[in-house]
Amino acid sequence: MGLGGMDTKQRERNCFVDSCSSAPVTSLGQQDLCLNHFLLRCYEKLERLDPRGGRFCSETLDAAAMRAFIEECSRKALDVSLHCKDLSNLERGRLLDILLWAGELFLLLRVPRFTFAASAAPVDSSVAALAAAPRS
């Protein structure tokens, strides 16, 4: 092949990740990915979108882009789980995990931010109230 290296017909047969020679099963953000790298990309990105996780960075992402990714990610995960015939139990489990996580994030991101921090307080006070309650 030429020196161009951008021959898209050649690229279409392989996973987008350079070192990977697996056949792509789906795509994410215009990149063809094999199952393994699709799962990795999803986990990586979901981790960064999850406000409950340590790797959350809201500054670099806008709400519309987050929602678009979450939608794409869950749509593709469902698609792969329905159309890939030879998935292992572990791979199925991961696809399901991504689907559930994406669904959860979709709901979380629609809720105003302050509700996350506030949720700890009522639990503490009800535990204190329980402890203080006289036994009958």
Of residues 15 and 49, the one with the C-beta less far from Zn ion? 15
**Residue 22 in the binding site for Zn ion (CB under 5 A):** yes
Q: How far from chain centre, in Å, is Cα 112?
A: 20
Of residues 25 and 105, the one with the C-beta less far from Zn ion? 25
End-to-end CA distance of the chain: 85
Long-range pairs for 118-122 at CB < 8 Å and ≥24 separation? none
Burial call 113-133: b when 16+ CB within 10 Å, e when fewer: eeeeeeeeeeeeeeeeeeeee
Minimal distance, residue 27 CB to Zn ion, in Å: 12
Of residues 29 and 51, the one with the C-beta less far from Zn ion? 29
Cα dist from 62 to 59, 91, 114, whole Å: 8, 30, 18
Minimal distance, residue 85 CB to Zn ion, in Å: 18
Residues between 39 and 58 that touch Zn ion (CB under 5 A): none
Given the rule CB under 5 A, which of 4-12, 32-40, 71-79, 103-111 is the region that contacts Zn ion? 32-40
Minimal distance, residue 48 CB to Zn ion, in Å: 20
**Residue 37 in the binding site for Zn ion (CB under 5 A):** yes
The binding site for Zn ion (CB under 5 A) comprises: 15, 17, 20, 22, 34, 37
